Structure 1
Amino acid sequence: MRILEILLTLSSFVLLFHFKMPKKVALAIGLLNIGLLTGHFFLEGYRWQMFFVYLISSILTIYIIFRMRLRIKVGKPLAYILFFLMFMMLILSTFASLYIPVFDLPKPDGQHTVGTKTFHLVDQDRDEVLTKDPHDKRELMIQVWYPADHTNLQKPKPLFPEDKQIFKKYIQTYASGWHLPEFVFDYWRYINSNSYENAEILSSKKSYPLVLISHGYGTGRMMHTAQAENLASHGFIVVAIDHTYSTTATVFPDGRITGLTTDLDGTPEKSTKLGGIWTKDTEFVISQIKKMNNTVFNGKIDLNHIGIMGHSFGGATAFNASYANPEIKAGINMDGSLYNLDKKHAISKPFLFIESDDFITIKNKVDKNSFSDKEIKDSGLTKKEFMMMIKTRKKEFHIIDQASLIHIDGTGHYNFTDFQLFSKILKQMGMTGEIDHKRSAFIVNQYVLDFFNKHLKGVGGDLISRPNPDYPEVKFPNQ
């Protein structure tokens, strides 16, 4: 909770006991409440999680100010009922404010300030196969983070679109995709990044290695902002791609917003088709960054040292792109299964798999072939289909076993994205693991940084090579 929210909530709880206070003290707290409420609305901004605090605070303050003039009297039974209801409403509002917070992204721990720019790209050589219009070309939005200079007292960029109309359409897309009321996402307007928009790139004798980020199916580039900012603060240039029609929402400069319209049902054919589109997205983005290097980025991008990382389906894309593209020197897959394995063998360049608890559980079952008849039935597949799936997973695990593999104990699938920071409720929903979300975000950032430092800069590499007592959660299953 934000500072004025905390003070307003506390004063509202205190006001519940106004009947035990001298009238002047209760009046003073009521007037203080007015000041806190006004300050909160103008300085911090309202949010729906605080609704009952606003309601109870206003009712109690009005009652205390006007009770003598209006000579309002309430019988004891009714007073006790009202007291209990208001107390529970304040508890509910406090719970909602704590568990669905206005949060800050983790501060980058590198020495550099971080700048960011956003670009709209159109691949004129590639038809858009994910729409019905035969004239569509593949369009992408990308965001770039980099070491910055001369921020000129700017405020950090908001995480989500700043324009009110575009933001409204943006959260409408999220609300529609998640089948929730629009107001649920309204508080996102208060979440800031740690980046400064359009700041100058920091001059340096050495150019900065390039790292691409590919998001998971149905999320988007914004869910990897903290990871990108941390790398940029340590002297990398980071490019995150919105894979159009596979994000929950992508905003284009003309105000258009596309949603999640691709169909990924887990079949190998659809995974391979969509994965091919995403892999071509990475190739196209690299080609465009090359063109921007000597103009927008003053020649500061080291195009001889390119890495890629991704989460879930984006992690699989990172592997696919690393496997196919010789320009990519190293890559990371965060908790993503692989696709298009028919002609693939062990990857011949540095590649790291960072996995969750669920991955390890499934891998152990596949290795031991220990699936019960009930598990096969519950999968919704026939026994033949299930065994074909297990055969594919065994090939996938064989490839993974020949690369570098670490497991972060206590993690779930979304502990590898910024989404874990949005609410503690995600843990109860099984979307994140038991590990503290700030701790897991920190660990992922440290190991990602160490990997790219070693393979793109030629320094570091201690964390990814062996267990470290400072990170007991990190296991090396293949050692």
Structure 2
Amino acid sequence: MRTTLTVVLTTAALSGLVGGSASAGTPADQRPTLALAAPTGPFPVGRATRHVVDYQRPDPWVANRRRELMLTVWYPAARPAGPVAKYTTAKESEILVRQFSPELPADLLATLPTHARTNAPARTAPGGLPLVLLSPGWQLPRSSQTGLAEEFASRGYVVAAIDHTYESTAVEFPDGRVTTCAACEQLAALPPAEHEAFFVRVSTGRAADVSFVIDALKRGFPAVDGKRVAMVGHSIGGSATVAAMAADRRIAAGVNMDGRLSPPLTRQLARPVLFFGEQRSVPGGAIEWDASYRQLTGWRRWLSVRGMGHESFSDLGLLGEQLGMPMQDMPGRRSVDVQRAYLTAFLDQHLRGRAQPILDGPSNDFAEVTFQ
């Protein structure tokens, strides 16, 4: 369990995707072959991009700017029409690769195929579809949760992943501007004693982002049922999930995926919360998990997964393994299956009211999952 995915690990992850040997001029038959796991739900997946601006709130990291965010919205499509969506934009891929491992193909991430169609017609349902908000790990782009988002959308959820501007390595806006991680530069200038307060600021800022995004999607994405909202976050995004639930009662349920809580809960929270962590995420392993779990007075579960690592809770867990750099002891595809099983069960139970026995106790099908 870690507050962030460190620069060292991110560098290793990106380098591992191609074994550190490919270049922009690498012949096609020597380029890396990367693939996300195909979604398993009954619906084809559509994807749209949204740019939203909160004119009432200044940006917390850069002076004299309003808070603006880029969102990717996945949804069940009425039919699989439209071009296949790109994993990242070309500019985002170029910056990510240049920063972490410049010998790699600049278009590495932009050419990774997804399973969604751009602007496919959305499936509708009476009353709208439940909404799931995704908050990525520190420095990671919103695209790092693509595999999970496609799975949720294929099962009938609208899913919005948020790039928290200036907290991600690269975010491209519709006018061609690309922002980088200004917050990372501020963190690097702080002494270690001030890091905890910094990440409290990150979590509370992301909570404000999330409340604004809910408002924006209720206005601008008619397929959404604003009364059925959940949030899932990885690393600092998991911390932000708990902070957002404490601040906004519209978030009916939330999942913290292996994120240290900054700040820990100091008052009771009665809505459903799942703590879902790697093998070291056990009682006593992180004081703020222990203290915060005691504040959960509604439905709650604390699951630890043997063999999973911190990066397993993003696409890096699967993609790194494909080119010889596994980031967990468990096979990458198995980690995907475990997450899909428990997270979709959590959403189905708490947003759709469908009881899920897998959440009641240990399962022979997932022996690596421990109920704490």
- Please give the TM-score of this superposition, normalised by the length of structure 1: 0.67
Secondary structure of 1:189's match?
coil
How is 1:16-415 mapped onto 2 (pairs within 5 angstroms)?
Answer: 49=22, 101-132=32-63, 134=64, 136-152=65-81, 154-161=82-89, 167=90, 169-178=91-100, 180-181=101-102, 183-205=104-126, 207-262=128-183, 263-264=186-187, 267-293=195-221, 297=222, 300-341=223-264, 344-360=266-282, 363-364=283-284, 395-396=291-292, 398-399=294-295, 403-415=300-312
AA of the residue aligned to 1:138? R
Secondary structure of 1:253's match?
coil
Aligned to 1:454: 349
1:359 Cα deviation from its structure 2 partner: 2.4
Long gaps (5+) in structure 2: 1-19
Aligned to 1:28: none
- Identity fraction in percent: 29
Q: 1:365 to 1:283 in 2, by over 3 A?
A: closer
Q: 1:206 to 1:400 in 2, by over 3 A?
A: closer
Higher helix residue share: 1
1:195 Cα deviation from its structure 2 partner: 0.6
Long gaps (5+) in structure 1: 1-46, 58-92, 162-166, 367-389
The answer to which structure, 1 or 2, has the higher relative contact order (CA under 8 A, 6+ apart) is 2
1:53 and 1:291 map into 2 onto residues whose CA distance is 46
1:356 Cα deviation from its structure 2 partner: 0.4
1:129 Cα deviation from its structure 2 partner: 2.6
Aligned to 2:364: 469
Q: 1:237 to 1:51 in 2, by over 3 A?
A: closer
1:422 Cα deviation from its structure 2 partner: 2.2
1:475 and 1:281 map into 2 onto residues whose CA distance is 33
Q: 1:160 to 1:51 in 2, by over 3 A?
A: closer
1:281 Cα deviation from its structure 2 partner: 0.2
- Please give the TM-score of this superposition, normalised by the length of structure 2: 0.85
Q: Over residues 261-300 of structure 1, what are the superposed CA-to-partner deviations in whole Å (9 max), with x where a residue is unaligned?
A: 204467232112121211100000001011114xxx3xx3
Q: Over residues 178-213 of structure 1, what are the superposed CA-to-partner deviations in whole Å (9 max), with x where a residue is unaligned?
A: 2x2164443333311111111111133452111100
AA of the residue aligned to 2:277? E
CA contact (8 A) 2:256 2:274 kept: yes
1:118 and 1:186 map into 2 onto residues whose CA distance is 20
Give the superposed CA RMSD: 2.8
AA of the residue aligned to 1:171? S
Q: 1:227 to 1:393 in 2, by over 3 A?
A: closer
Secondary structure of 1:187's match?
coil
CA contact (8 A) 1:308 1:332 kept: yes
Q: Which has the larger radius of gyration?
A: 1
1:344 and 1:51 map into 2 onto residues whose CA distance is 50
CA contact (8 A) 1:308 1:330 kept: yes
Secondary structure of 1:177's match?
helix
1:174 Cα deviation from its structure 2 partner: 1.2
AA of the residue aligned to 1:282? V
CA contact (8 A) 1:356 1:413 kept: yes
1:122 and 1:53 map into 2 onto residues whose CA distance is 40
Aligned residue-pair number? 345
1:305 and 1:51 map into 2 onto residues whose CA distance is 45
